C-alpha cells in the first residue's frame, strides 16, 4: 500500500506476506497458521508512532539536519508520525469513501486465558469519517498470520537490551503491561511504495483493556531492518518531489545520514536497525472472512 506516495505510511503500514496454511498444532518458531476461526474479533489501529530509531533529513543546500520523526521538517508541515496520524484520520480520495490508511488486527479468536491462537495483520478499507463504522480487508492486501498468547501476569514485549539509541529519544518507548497479548516472531514484508521491505523477527504486543478486551493500549511493534535492505530501499524525498533517497540515509549511522548519532544494531550477527513503534487500537465492525 502506498498512500499518496508518503514515506511514513508506506514504510510502516502495509504488511504483506503469504497467507498461512492450516495446521492443528501452533508453531511458535514460524507461523504456518492454524484453523481459520471466523468471524474474527477485529481491532483497528487508531495511533501509530515510531519511537526508535528516529529519522533525520539533511536540509541541504541549507545548513542543518532535521529530526522529523515528531517535528515537521522546517518550512513544511511534514513529520513522520504526523503523516501517519493524518492517513489514519482523513480521506484524500472522497470518491472511494475510505480512510487513507487502516491497519487491522484480526483475532481468530480473541482468547485471554493463556491459550495460543492466531491473529492476522492486514490492511483494511475502512469507511470515512474516523472513527469508521465498518472495515473490510483491502482487496490488494494479503493477511499476515501470527501465533499469539495472552497472559494475565508476567512480562510482555520489551525492547531488546542494547538496541535503544543513546541518548534515548523522547518520548520513550512504551511497553505493554499484563494483561497483554504477545505474538511470536516472524519475518514479514512491508510494501514500501511498491518496493518490498523485509522486516525480520517482527512481533506485536499490547495491553488488553477489559475481558473481553475493548481496547488495545500501550501497544508495541518491533522488527529488524538489515543495513543491506535499508541501503537497497529507495523512498520518495518529501523535500524534492520526483527524487528519491535510500532508507539508510534517514537512519542515524546509515550511509549518507546527517545525524552525528549512530543507532545501528545487530541481529543474528547482521548490521541494521531495530524498529520500535507504539500503537493503540479500538474495536471495529468488520465485513470479511
Choice between 176 and 33, residue whose per-residue pLDDT is larger: 176
Q: Is residue 161 part of a domain?
A: yes
Answer whether residue 192 is part of any domain. Answer: yes
* Residue pair 107/119 in contact by the 8 Å Cβ criterion: yes
3-state secondary structure (DSSP) of residue 247: helix
Angle at 54 between CA 52 and CA 55, to 5 degrees: 145
Asked whether 82 and 14 are in contact (CB, 8 A), the reply is: no
Cell numbers of 94, please? 472522497
Number of domain units in the chain = 1
How far, in Å, CA of 84 to CA of 68, rounded?
A: 13
Alpha-carbon span 44 to 54, nearest angstrom: 24
In a domain, 202, yes or no: yes
Residue 2 falls within a domain, yes or no?
A: no
Indicate whether 4 pLDDT > 60.
no
Query: Is residue 1 in a domain?
Result: no
Q: Which of 80, 53, 49, 90 is nearest to 221 (CA)?
A: 49
Angstrom distance (rounded) from CA 42 to CA 289: 11
Task: Dump strand ranges (E) for 68-210.
Answer: 103-108, 116-126, 135-137, 144-151, 180-183, 186-192, 195-209
Lowest mean pLDDT among 20-24, 87-91, 264-268: 20-24
Q: Does 40 fall in a domain?
A: yes
- Report the length, in residues, of the chain: 289
pLDDT band (50, 70, 90) for residue 34: low
Quote the mean pLDDT of the chain.
85
- Region 64-86: mean pLDDT is 92
What pLDDT is attached to residue 35? 64
Q: Which domain holds residue 139?
A: 7-283
Asked if the structure places residue 289 within a domain, the reply is: no
287 CB burial (10 A radius; 0-12, 13-18, 19+): exposed
Q: Cell numbers 487508531 label which residue? A: 46
197-254 confidence digits (pLDDT tens): 788 999 999 999 999 999 999 999 999 999 999 999 888 877 777 888 899 999 999 9
C-alpha 47/C-alpha 282 separation (Å) is 10
23 pLDDT tier (thresholds 50, 70, 90): very low
Q: How far is CA 212 from CA 50, 60, 194, 270, 283, in A?
A: 28, 52, 38, 40, 11
Amino acid at each position: 500500500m502506498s498512500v499518496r506516495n508518503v514515506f511514513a505510511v508506506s514504510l510502516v503500514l502495509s504488511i504483506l506476506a503469504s497467507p498461512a496454511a492450516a495446521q492443528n498444532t501452533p508453531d511458535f518458531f514460524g507461523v504456518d497458521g492454524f484453523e481459520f476461526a471466523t468471524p474474527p474479533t477485529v481491532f483497528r489501529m487508531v495511533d501509530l508512532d515510531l519511537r526508535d530509531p528516529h529519522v533525520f533529513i539533511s536540509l541541504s543546500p541549507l545548513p542543518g539536519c532535521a529530526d522529523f520523526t515528531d517535528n515537521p521538517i522546517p518550512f513544511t508541515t511534514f513529520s513522520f508520525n504526523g503523516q501517519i496520524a493524518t492517513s489514519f484520520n482523513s480521506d484524500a480520495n472522497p470518491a472511494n469513501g475510505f480512510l487513507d490508511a487502516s491497519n487491522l488486527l484480526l483475532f481468530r479468536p480473541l482468547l485471554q486465558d493463556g491459550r495460543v491462537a492466531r491473529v492476522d495483520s492486514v490492511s483494511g478499507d475502512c469507511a470515512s469519517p474516523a472513527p469508521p463504522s465498518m472495515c473490510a480487508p483491502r482487496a490488494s492486501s494479503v493477511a499476515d498470520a501470527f501465533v499469539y498468547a495472552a497472559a494475565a501476569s508476567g512480562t510482555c514485549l520489551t525492547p531488546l537490551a542494547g538496541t535503544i539509541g543513546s541518548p534515548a529519544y523522547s518520548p520513550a518507548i512504551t511497553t505493554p503491561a499484563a494483561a497483554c497479548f504477545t505474538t511470536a516472531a516472524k519475518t514479514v514484508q512491508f510494501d514500501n511504495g511498491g518496493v518490498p521491505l523485509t522486516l525480520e523477527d517482527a512481533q506485536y504486543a499490547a495491553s488488553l483493556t477489559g475481558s473481553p478486551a475493548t481496547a488495545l493500549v500501550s501497544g508495541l511493534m518491533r522488527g529488524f531492518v538489515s543495513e543491506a535492505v535499508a541501503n537497497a530501499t529507495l523512498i520518495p524525498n518529501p523535500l524534492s518531489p520526483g527524487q528519491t533517497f535510500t532508507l539508510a540515509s534517514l537512519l542515524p549511522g546509515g550511509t549518507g545520514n546527517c545525524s552525528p548519532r549512530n543507532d545501528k544494531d545487530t541481529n543474528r550477527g547482521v548490521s541494521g536497525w531495530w524498529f520500535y513503534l507504539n500503537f493503540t487500537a479500538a474495536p471495529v465492525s468488520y465485513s470479511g472472512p
